Amino acid sequence: MAASEADHALTAKKQKLEEGDKIDSALSPLKSFKGFSFEKVLCENAKSKSLFIMGQFEGSDDKAVVLLEKMPFSSERATNYVCQDTNLKETLKNDIYGTYDAYIPVQENAVKATVIYPATEKHITKYTDQERFVVTETADLYKSITLPYLEEKEFSVQWVYNILDKKQESERIVFEDPDPETGFILLPDMKWDRKNINTLYLQAIVHKHGIKSLRDLNGTHLPLLRNILKNGSVAIKEKFDVPRSKLNIFIHYQPSYNHLHVHFMHIKNETYGFAHLLSDVIENIELKEDYYQWKTLTYVIREMDELYKRFKDAGHL
Amino acid sequence: MAASEADHALTAKKQKLEEGDKIDSALSPLKSFKGFSFEKVLCENAKSKSLFIMGQFEGSDDKAVVLLEKMPFSSERATNYVCQDTNLKETLKNDIYGTYDAYIPVQENAVKATVIYPATEKHITKYTDQERFVVTETADLYKSITLPYLEEKEFSVQWVYNILDKKQESERIVFEDPDPETGFILLPDMKWDRKNINTLYLQAIVHKHGIKSLRDLNGTHLPLLRNILKNGSVAIKEKFDVPRSKLNIFIHYQPSYNHLHVHFMHIKNETYGFAHLLSDVIENIELKEDYYQWKTLTYVIREMDELYKRFKDAGHL
């Protein structure tokens, strides 16, 4: 939880304490969801196998948020799953393959439930799902929708310049090539703990200013891109002993900030969505210098992204 | 499942039929794991919440592989999870946050079990956790390593022909265009429960024989590819009310079996690794007819894949 939320929550609780009522139900452990009235599903995630629910407990006007998550299996308990107490209901059979609904013993199949009560508006927003949509951005749509949006917003990348100018995070730099045209700084991504090699994750940030994204890359950038691919990999091999055959090296489109950067990620660290491998980017530009000015690029955007509204208002979603 | 495996399995089953024994246990639906003896865990994945187990059924020397996967929650059944029949055991309490082990009613908490029996060595290898490596397959390496490997192995896709000829799974067909050149069959992937729309996952299998993978696609296949993209999406919209802006439509390379097929997956169902979007494939071939004969293709292979050994022996890993 974020500090601000915990803060909000404490304020809410303090008010309750002053009111002197409904405290017990907020603090005593629940034995079941008896008295809970379901209001709505805030978010459903099939991949993480979670479901976030909003509702209320009997006798209170406060909202409660319930986070349900399926839990991983435990190797040590494997024999308790594949046993005679597990009932099977066949759902499909083809040759040697059979699929079943398996009802494993209830004590082996707990779900993790987190109850937030009383829940603030911020909790509710935080745990509410946003719709996602696939955008098919043709070259023309880039020019008529995406580029004007970026220009209008003028998103600041001052924090990136601070890194490049060693005003920030200079102690975190893993490797630098200072060339203003083909150089870059390599440093760990904030998501990496810098200990676990299996989750290794670094970013190469180019020294050259003004390359907003993949869309801007053309034949003139080939020396820069080849340099990052080669010397970024060499640096990671030297510093962390992870060879290139263990790395996914890619560019996101849309990027999370509009200054060219390349992700170096251990292959055990699954990538999300459709990333563009740096080696593919180089080869495509070798084939056609303006490949990324010409190509239709497909990506996923969220309902609350302003770019979503722009595409929708223009009738493209 | 890969073609080769289904083939191995069919051979194994045929031998059994000839022996005339142990057939019932191989074919009849299981009611529980009674008589199953656990041997070892092949793979444990905390992220996907799955556990792959190897063992044996009583009275048989064959191996069985059991794949257990926690299933997503269903929004529609939310009130059945947060009800008075769900027992809660508190695990942590901090201010407004409480966490619990929740024992939801057993019929609401099925685990998906896939039983592969008899399982071949290839199944066991497939479901065993392994080291992974990034392969950079140039056009030349495809010709000198990958293609000879595929030709030598002659993986059977008989089980795919059985589907195309309506000898198997015909009741599962969602849509068919019978044209021998541009037609395809659309049916649910085995991984989809066919209920939860957020995990929607179908495959389009082309009627045309002989297209082994993305590598074989060229300008002559554009009508086929465009037909799949357009009419596969239309069929999914009609049958499941899921629009194209909610679908990832892609081809895997390497594919899991060597007969061209296209994946249609709900965007909430995250894709793994570097899939090739069908719309990108079409556009690249429009740009350069032999794009996929020319392009370097990057993918991840596992230590136990024979293709890994071939690349390694040739000094490319």
For residues B304 and B128, which has the higher predicted lDDT (pLDDT)?
B128
**Tokens coding A244:** 């290139």
Question: Alpha helix locations (H) across chain B?
Answer: 3-19, 23-27, 78-81, 121-126, 139-141, 147-153, 158-164, 222-227, 233-240, 278-287, 291-294, 306-313
For residue A3, pLDDT beyond 70 = no
Cα B36 to Cα A98: distance, rounded to the nearest angstrom = 15
Determine which of A149-158, A230-239, A256-265, B237-246 has the lowest per-residue pLDDT on average.
A149-158
Average pLDDT, chain B: 89
Q: What is the pLDDT of residue B46?
A: 79
Q: Which residue of B has its CA nearest to A247?
A: B134
Catalogue the long-range contacts made by B177-184 (C-beta closer than 8 Å, 24 or more residues apart). Answer: B177/B207, B177/B227, B177/B231, B178/B207, B179/B207, B179/B227, B180/B207, B180/B208, B181/B207, B181/B208, B181/B223, B181/B224, B182/B208, B182/B223, B182/B224, B182/B227, B183/B207, B183/B208, B183/B227, B184/B224, B184/B227, B184/B228, B184/B232, B184/B262
**Of B187, B168, B169, B167, residue with least CA distance to B177:** B187
Contact A86 B29 (CB under 8 A): no
Give B-chain residues touching A119 at CB under 8 angstroms.
96
B47 touches chain A (CB under 8 A): yes
For residue A153, pLDDT beyond 90 = no
Q: How many other CB atoms are found less than 10 A from the CB of residue A226?
A: 15
For residues A132 and A80, which has the higher predicted lDDT (pLDDT)?
A80
Q: What is the pLDDT of residue A94?
A: 83
A35-47 pLDDT, tens digit each: 999 999 999 988 8
Establish whether B221 is a catalytic residue: no
**Tokens coding A30:** 């629940």
The complex's ipTM works out to 0.74
Q: What is the pLDDT of residue A304?
A: 80
**Angle A69-A71-A77 from CA coordinates, rounded to 5°:** 160
Cα A251 to Cα A265: distance, rounded to the nearest angstrom = 11
Q: How confident is the model at residue A15 (pLDDT cuts 50, 70, 90)?
A: very low
When pLDDT is averaged across residues B240-253 and rounded to a whole number, the result is 96
Q: Using alpha carbons, list the distances in angstroms from residue B124 to B46, B51, B106, B130.
A: 20, 13, 30, 11
B298 touches chain A (CB under 8 A): yes
Q: What is the pLDDT of residue A18?
A: 39
For residue B51, pLDDT beyond 70 = yes
Average pLDDT, chain A: 89
Q: What is the pLDDT of residue B93?
A: 85
Q: How confident is the model at residue B18 (pLDDT cuts 50, 70, 90)?
A: very low
**Of B132, B281, B274, residue with least CA distance to A250:** B274
For residues A156 and B63, which has the higher predicted lDDT (pLDDT)?
B63
Q: What is the pLDDT of residue B92?
A: 86
For residues A82 and A4, which has the higher predicted lDDT (pLDDT)?
A82
Q: Which domains does chain B have, with CATH numbers?
A: 6-71+110-115 (no CATH), 75-108 (no CATH), 130-313 (3.30.428.10)
Determine which of A60-69, A136-145, A177-186, B263-272 has the lowest per-residue pLDDT on average.
B263-272
Q: What is the pLDDT of residue A272?
A: 60
Q: What percent of chain B has pLDDT over 90?
A: 73
Q: How confident is the model at residue A213 (pLDDT cuts 50, 70, 90)?
A: very high
Q: What is the pLDDT of residue B271?
A: 64
Which one of A87, A88, A277 has the shortest CB-CB distance to B274? A277
When pLDDT is averaged across residues A92-114 and rounded to a whole number, the result is 93
Q: How confident is the model at residue A271 (pLDDT cuts 50, 70, 90)?
A: low
Contact B199 A38 (CB under 8 A): no
What SS3 state is found at B145? helix
Contacts with A, B 103-162, CB within 8 Å: 103-104, 106-107, 109-119, 132-136, 159
Q: What is the pLDDT of residue B198?
A: 85
B21-41 pLDDT, tens digit each: 343 445 578 999 999 999 999
When pLDDT is averaged across residues A29-37 and rounded to a whole number, the result is 94
Q: Which residue of A has its CA nearest to B103?
A: A110
Name B256's bridge partners: none
B154-196 pLDDT, tens digit each: 788 998 999 999 998 889 999 999 999 999 999 999 889 888 8
A260 touches chain B (CB under 8 A): no
